């Protein structure tokens, strides 16, 4: 590409068109009129000598050339944004900035109160949006829609064999797994036998999308088949489900100990060894040199290791 022949302002329009696949929505996304976006599309078509978007019934779809531009254009804009938006220093006491962080729901009670206490006192003009983990979380990090993510260290939860190379990872805390049952369980006493563990009904959390549940992964490790009768999306919901039932839930120990004083439940050691997991903090490598991002990462790491 010869930059002297290309209007760099068109990059923003190109990104919007490639993402939205719709002229009207692309115009709304970048706050321009529809005629202005249509004119931009024509200039882009002339430059690339390709229609980029073509009609398919009532919708528009990307041409092969358009598809090939999606990731490079988005990455180029994100790098420009990161470069222009990064200040040489970051003073949390005075800076105005917004961060978006993704935190698995069962980790929120352990880490977020400490993070937010520090943020409220040290950074009065910094805002923080907290999102729940989902199958799109890694995509949101990749596309610059979120800054950080706190989750369990297992790419198979996202249907992946390995995390992408652009991801940066720091271990926060080891996760020990325990079983939770109703306090007045009719068959389970102070210990959970192997026979009861295999025959009693289980409730597990399973994310939406292509990923597998953490308990399914643990079953693979321990080579046992559980009697799974109930599924839910959130691990944090599990201790609230077992009271009054014969269900067994396998949850992080931090969740069980936090909720045990509030619910009629008992915490038991699983009869099968369940490998410990790790809570990790992840972010996109493009944010490595951003002092503000570095401050936020350090805040999460410090607060996590204090609990």
Give the contacts of 26 (CB within 8 A, at least 6 positions apart). 13, 16, 17, 19, 20, 37
Question: Are 241 and 204 in the same domain?
Answer: yes
State pTM to two decimals. 0.73
Residue 222 has a pLDDT of: 65
* Residue 197 or 5, more confident: 197
Token couple for 71: 């990731």
Question: Are 188 and 144 in the same domain?
Answer: no
Question: Are 56 and 199 in the same domain?
Answer: no
User: DSSP label at 93?
Assistant: T
Residue 1 has a pLDDT of: 46
User: Does 294 have pLDDT greater than 50?
Assistant: yes
90 part of a folded domain: no
Question: Are 182 and 269 in the same domain?
Answer: yes
Give the contacts of 250 (CB within 8 A, at least 6 positions apart). 177, 178, 179, 180, 202, 204, 215, 218, 238, 270, 274
Percentage of residues of the chain with pLDDT beyond 70: 90
91 part of a folded domain: no
Residue 210 has a pLDDT of: 57
115 part of a folded domain: yes
Arithmetic mean of pLDDT, 238-266: 94
The tally of domains found in the chain comes to: 3
User: Does 32 have pLDDT greater than 50?
Assistant: yes
Instruction: Name the residue range of residue 28's domain.
Output: 3-85
If 0-12 CB within 10 Å is exposed, 13-18 middle and 19+ buried, where does residue 228 land? Answer: middle
Which of the four pLDDT bands, split at 50, 70 and 90, describes residue 284?
very high
pLDDT in tens, 199-226: 999 998 887 665 666 667 666 666 778 8
Percentage of residues of the chain with pLDDT beyond 90: 43
Arithmetic mean of pLDDT, 2-26: 79
Residue 188 has a pLDDT of: 94
Arithmetic mean of pLDDT, 87-114: 89
Residue 125 has a pLDDT of: 93
CATH number at residue 231: 3.40.190.10
């Amino acid at each position: 590409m010869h930059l002297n022949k290309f209007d760099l302002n068109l990059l923003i329009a190109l990104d919007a068109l490639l993402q939205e696949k719709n002229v009207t929505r692309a115009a709304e996304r970048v706050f321009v009129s529809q005629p202005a976006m249509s004119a931009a599309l024509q200039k882009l078509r002339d430059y690339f000598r390709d229609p980029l978007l073509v009609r398919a019934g009532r919708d528009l779809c990307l041409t092969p050339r358009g598809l090939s531009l999606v990731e490079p254009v988005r990455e180029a804009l994100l790098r420009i944004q990161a470069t222009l938006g990064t200040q040489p220093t970051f003073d949390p006491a005075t800076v105005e900035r917004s961060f978006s962080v993704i935190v698995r729901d069962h980790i929120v009670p352990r880490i977020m109160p400490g993070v937010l206490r520090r943020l409220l006192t040290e950074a009065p003009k910094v805002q923080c949006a907290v999102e729940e983990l989902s199958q799109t979380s890694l995509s949101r990090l990749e596309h610059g829609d979120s800054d950080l993510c706190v989750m369990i260290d297992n790419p198979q939860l996202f249907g992946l064999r390995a995390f992408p190379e652009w991801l940066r990872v720091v271990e926060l805390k080891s996760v020990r797994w325990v079983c939770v049952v109703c306090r007045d369980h009719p068959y389970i006493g102070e210990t959970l036998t192997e026979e009861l563990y295999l025959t009693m009904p289980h409730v597990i959390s399973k994310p939406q999308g292509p990923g597998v549940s953490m308990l399914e992964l643990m079953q693979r490790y321990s080579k046992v088949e559980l009697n799974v009768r109930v599924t839910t999306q959130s691990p944090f919901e599990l201790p609230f489900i077992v009271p009054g039932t014969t269900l067994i839930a396998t949850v992080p120990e931090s969740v069980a100990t936090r909720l045990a004083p509030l619910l009629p439940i008992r915490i038991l050691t699983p009869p099968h060894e369940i490998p410990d997991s790790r809570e990790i903090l992840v972010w996109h490598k493009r944010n490595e040199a951003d002092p503000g991002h570095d401050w936020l990462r350090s805040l999460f790491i410090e607060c996590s290791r204090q609990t």
